[in-house]
Structure 1
Amino acid sequence: MPSEKMDRRRQYSSAMKAQVVAECGEPGASVAQVAMAHGINANVVHRWRQLAREGKGATPAKTGEFIALPLAVPVGSTAAPAEIRVELRRGSVTMNIAWPASAAAEFAVWTRELLR
């Protein structure tokens, strides 16, 4: 007797796949947790990741991530800067901070506390 139930598979957009693969690549992320958060079987997500590594699937589109850029050191300038300068912006408020370079460790502690 033929079954009347049709076997349907869920389909996901390339953007959705790329987002899920990118989330799995975040530090401390668990593939199982990311899959459950999106209501997707973890085996499917593992396959997407494998395809992405092989260059055949959705590649992660990372936005808003930190990108380290190498800075050229000016020729003839071997002295360390006298101060650390930072500009903070939040809405219409801008704050400029100058901190002595000799107290860089204290600046790091202050910055960590500020960002909590």
Structure 2
Amino acid sequence: MDTNFQPITSTNARGHYRQHSLEFKRALVALSLEPGVSVARIAREHGVNANQVFSWRRLYQQGRLGVPALIRDDGLLPVVLAPTAPAPGNSTADADADADADGTIMLELGEVRVRIEGQPNAAALAQVLDRVLR
């Protein structure tokens, strides 16, 4: 936990409430979600109450803390394709049949759930993903 985040704070008219940036909140949430990390310790190290961090975690899980860190700034999800070797005994006819088979795409982001079955039109799929990932 040698990462040190500086909160961007301001006060309201009454002068005693701090307003942290979304970046700061997301950074603390990301730190608090690491395995074996104490939320109380993270909060104490960054000068906030542990209950506040738990509240930000709930907002993050509901998709209400802005765009989650796993989505890049350009609105695309990072994708890594792993090379797959054909299973023993698979013929080229089986591979061709698999390429034509319909599939299902399921996307969950906060409270938004999208399920697409079959072979979607690429332009329509791009529009749906553009709207969901805003």
| TM-score, with length taken from structure 2 | 0.43
Q: Which of the two has higher C-alpha Rg? A: 1
